[in-house]
Amino acid sequence: MSIELTRLFTEKTRLLELREKILEIDSSLNLDFYIDKLSKIIGVPRRSLYQYIGNWYYENSNAYFFKDLSSFEIINELLGEAISKYFDLETVNYSLAKVNHLKCEPSYGLASLNFCSPKFSYKTTHDLGIPLYALSPFLSNLDIFNKYFKDEKLKKEFILSLKRLFVRDFLAGENDRKGDNLLFQVSTTSLKLAPLFDYEWSFSYKSDYYVYDNSLAIMDLTDKDTLEYLQKDVEFQEIFTKLLDINILKLLKGIGEIHEIIIPNDIKDIYVEQVERVKELVVSTLIK
């Protein structure tokens, strides 16, 4: 599905130019080295930088994480950001980026502005002590989160965000919401989803489309209990109805306008075809 990256660009394409690299991965050094070094450079406490290591750059007093991706992966990332916003979920904010090198041709890809706040810690499900698929068959045991909340309203908002996450990723065929790619923002009194990121492995569905899973749970539409749960839950029904209203062509058009790029029609067709297939599945199995 990959296309030449330059096919996306126009004379007006907006590229964030990066020059000052502040951290580069060296596989001979351990994880703690990178976290300590990045913490000192950007002024975010070590506890808030669980997985944010890699190719980091400074530009205009901001820290950016750079990813060198194929063109199809870049569209996945940009569209992933737009879909998250559609479902009212916080997300990383991407810019098309150009890294200028001294002795070779520039690199092109995506840069994301650091979202880590010094006020919070960022934890994975493993860090929180949640065993794999603890909520299987699907969010049926929410008591596991009780200890993080003193405010019932905040807990309800958190559970609603999880439901939006699952429906959002079910739509997008997200294949990599595992391990470090699902973070929680933790304070002394509450827990919430950290901004979502890393959408490059999406829109590449399993052949049957019926099963989606992540670090928290499995959503298996062939499982009777899961299907019944989704059909009876009012909030899930509202979110799946919102899924049916999404206009992928409109989101792609918006991406093109924001970044001043051209997305070829054959690439648009891939997204439209897969989203329509998911919508048909939702109508035939989930909506009551």
pLDDT in tens, 116-137: 888 899 988 888 887 766 666 5
- pLDDT of 77 reads 95
- pLDDT of 134 reads 60
Q: In terms of pLDDT, which residue wins out, 100 or 3?
A: 100
- pLDDT of 243 reads 98
Mean of pLDDT values over 223-246: 93
- pLDDT of 25 reads 66
Mean of pLDDT values over 38-66: 82
Phi-psi region of 165 (alpha: psi -120 to 50; beta: other; left: phi over 0): alpha
Question: How is residue 13 written in tokens?
Answer: 């394409």
Is a pLDDT exceeding 50 seen at residue 191?
yes
- pLDDT of 2 reads 39
Q: In terms of pLDDT, which residue wins out, 126 or 276?
A: 276
**φ/ψ (deg, to 5) at 201:** -95, 60
Q: Give the span between the Cα atoms of 164 and 197, in whole angstroms.
A: 15
Q: Could you tell me the pLDDT band of residue 86, with boundaries at 50, 70 and 90?
A: very high
Q: Could you tell me the pLDDT band of residue 26, with boundaries at 50, 70 and 90?
A: low
Q: In terms of pLDDT, which residue wins out, 179 or 148?
A: 148
pTM of this prediction? 0.92
Q: Give the span between the Cα atoms of 270 and 193, in whole angstroms.
A: 29
Q: Could you tell me the pLDDT band of residue 68, with boundaries at 50, 70 and 90?
A: confident
Mean of pLDDT values over 4-20: 87
Is a pLDDT exceeding 70 seen at residue 171?
yes
Mean of pLDDT values over 98-120: 88
Helix ranges (DSSP H) in 43-189:
71-86, 152-172
Percent of the chain with pLDDT over 70: 89
Residues listed for the chain: 288
Is a pLDDT exceeding 70 seen at residue 64?
yes
- pLDDT of 27 reads 61
Is a pLDDT exceeding 90 seen at residue 140?
no
**Average pLDDT across the chain, whole number:** 86
Mean of pLDDT values over 87-102: 93
CA dihedral of residues 277, 281, 287, 288 (deg, nearest 10):
140
